[in-house]
Amino acid sequence: MTIEPVLTALDLTSDQLSGGDLSVTSPIDGREIAQVHQTPASEMGAVLDRAEAAFHAWRTVPAPRRGELVRLLGEELRAAKDELGAVVTLEAGKITSEGLGEVQEMIDICDFAVGLSRQLYGLTIASERPGHRMMETWHPLGPTAVITAFNFPVAVWSWNAALALVCGNPVIWKPSEKSPLTAMATMAIFNRALARFGDAPEGLAQLVIGGADLGDALVSSPRVPLVSATGSTRMGRIVGPKVAERFGRSILELGGNNAMIVAPSADLDMALRAIVFSAVGTAGQRCTSLRRLIVHESLREGLVANLARAYASLPIGDPRAEGTLVGPLIDKEALARMQAALEQARAEGGTVHGGEVVEGVAGGAYVRPAIVEMPAQSDIVRAETFAPILYVISYDRLDQAIALQNGVPQGLSSCIFTRDLREAETFLSAAGSDCGISNVNIGPSGAEIGGAFGGEKETGGGRESGSDAWKAYMRRATNTINYSDALPLAQGVRFDI
Ligand code: NAD
């Protein structure tokens, strides 16, 4: 598939794709594919004005009607799935099925949010006073900034935007400077939904293109009550305190260092397949990628040998080619960081299998995923390297395995492979995994949108997507209604005048 017709099919014009000062390259071959126009910093005031005006109109539109816009977005995404998936592959280097899977995730969250638009309800609460009733109401919060990372260039926007829009909030999107094309294509698709919807206010969903300074304009503005930021822990350390300082609300979705425990009773065939998918899928560039394998010492040797065999036969190369399972890293810097991590792992006593640079498409950063046997959970194992490196550590007792699983600064995703009910339940219990996502007999990556997504500790504590994550996008009001002819005070307080 050549990309020009795809971009045209997504309503992107050559003016939008050339003459700008932000060079967009494809990780497939490192070549420049567009020069897009960045949003001038001086524009940000007008962006916020439009968002506020949109908020004042949108917050009073009935929520099910707001849901109709998201329903139409889901329809437009279905119609443009192949084209948008192809742009994800071109700009983020994902293999074709993962590019399409990312768009499917957008469609799924739209479906979820449409249903949600009729379920934004609060509680009715018993009042201690006669003739009184208490209840909670949920109201739109205001302009919502969505700052996204390169590795899920479209799905993360949709997780936030679909919920924010049905909750009554306009959205301002600052995508990664490495993936503005996918963002532009998504906005073009959104505009098709808007045109069919008819009477949405201008500025309901805006896109600003640029780097960290543009993100900072949103993070620092008291006119943005909610900032949802996805990216590195380094970014979260800056963004979190800045939003907190102005008493804003943030949803932080930061780095992960995800583990799998393989227990003696595990179905090893299933475990092997889950390990390979979650450790090398998306070339190890998912926040939920498997990075640490904590394997019972009785299984270690055999499992590592089987994994090394599976890794040696992985098809690595052009992500558009049929059969490829491992595409490129995002850029040469990512490759250099991977090689540096492997060097450090060797210095910390590790034995490295794989990890070599391989021929892919000239100009791209292609690498064979690495398995690294470690004598202990050393410094490099405790850090997130955004590349396909799987550290293997062994354990003797389950409590040691859980301590290793929890013994890192990050807390995103985790899992155990076991057929022992006691082990599985212990892992899921209060004394088990400390992560936001804990699975049994499933790898740590590839979450469904129905559950709340996010993690603890340095992963930031935010939750997006399903379950009751919508509550972060709304403000809660507690209402007490007196339908009696008396004015009793709570707690029996007397104040007679
Ligand atoms: P990054 O932190 O370099 O950039 C992410 C976004 O933050 C970009 O849009 C960037 O422009 C913006 N940004 C950076 N500094 C900023 C600042 N000071 N103020 C405002 N905005 C700022 O991350 P990346 O390399 O694009 O993505 C990879 C990282 O993202 C990994 O650590 C990965 O684990 C994480 N990630 C986490 C999740 C999750 O849900 N937990 C999902 C995807 C990616």
What confidence tier does 9 reach under pLDDT thresholds 50, 70, 90?
confident
Assess whether the C-beta atom of 215 lies below 6 angstroms from ligand 1.
yes
Please provide the average confidence, as pLDDT, over all residues in the chain.
97
Asked if residue 455 is part of any domain, the answer here is no
Together in a domain, 77 and 202:
yes
Asked if residue 492 is part of any domain, the answer here is no
Together in a domain, 223 and 293:
no
Domain of 425, CATH number, reads 3.40.309.10
pLDDT digit string, tens, across residues 281-332: 999 999 999 999 999 999 999 999 999 999 999 999 999 999 999 999 999 9
Q: How far is the CA of 363 from the centre of ligand 1 (A)?
A: 24
H or E element, residue 440: strand 437-440
The whole domain housing 100 covers 4-254+460-477
Burial class for 392, CB neighbours closer than 10 Å (0-12, 13-18, 19+): buried
Together in a domain, 65 and 211:
yes
Q: Could you identify the residue written with the tokens 């780095």?
A: 255
Please tell me what DSSP assigns to residue 94.
Answer: -
Assess whether the C-beta atom of 211 lies below 6 angstroms from ligand 1.
yes
Which of these is catalytic: 287, 373, 415, 458? 287
Long-range interactions of 340-345: CB distance < 8 A, separation 24+: 341/380, 341/383, 341/385, 341/387, 341/389, 342/370, 342/372, 342/389, 344/379, 344/380, 345/372, 345/374, 345/378, 345/380, 345/381, 345/389, 345/391
Together in a domain, 160 and 98:
yes
pLDDT digit string, tens, across residues 232-282: 999 999 999 999 999 999 999 999 999 999 999 999 999 999 999 999 999
Asked if residue 497 is part of any domain, the answer here is no
Strand pairing class (474-482; 132-140): antiparallel
Together in a domain, 113 and 67:
yes
Which of these is catalytic: 83, 91, 102, 253? 253
What confidence tier does 217 reach under pLDDT thresholds 50, 70, 90?
very high
Q: How far is the CA of 150 from the centre of ligand 1 (A)?
A: 7
What confidence tier does 1 reach under pLDDT thresholds 50, 70, 90?
low
CA 81-97-311 angle, to 5 degrees, is 165
Together in a domain, 267 and 250:
no
Q: How far is the CA of 463 from the centre of ligand 1 (A)?
A: 16
Together in a domain, 108 and 229:
yes
Together in a domain, 211 and 327:
no
Together in a domain, 249 and 262:
no
Specify the number of domains making up the chain: 2
Assess whether the C-beta atom of 183 lies below 6 angstroms from ligand 1.
no
Assess whether the C-beta atom of 252 lies below 6 angstroms from ligand 1.
no
The protein residue whose alpha carbon is closest to atom 20 in ligand 1 is: 215
Assess whether the C-beta atom of 221 lies below 6 angstroms from ligand 1.
no
Asked if residue 206 is part of any domain, the answer here is yes
pLDDT digit string, tens, across residues 22-38: 999 999 999 999 999 99
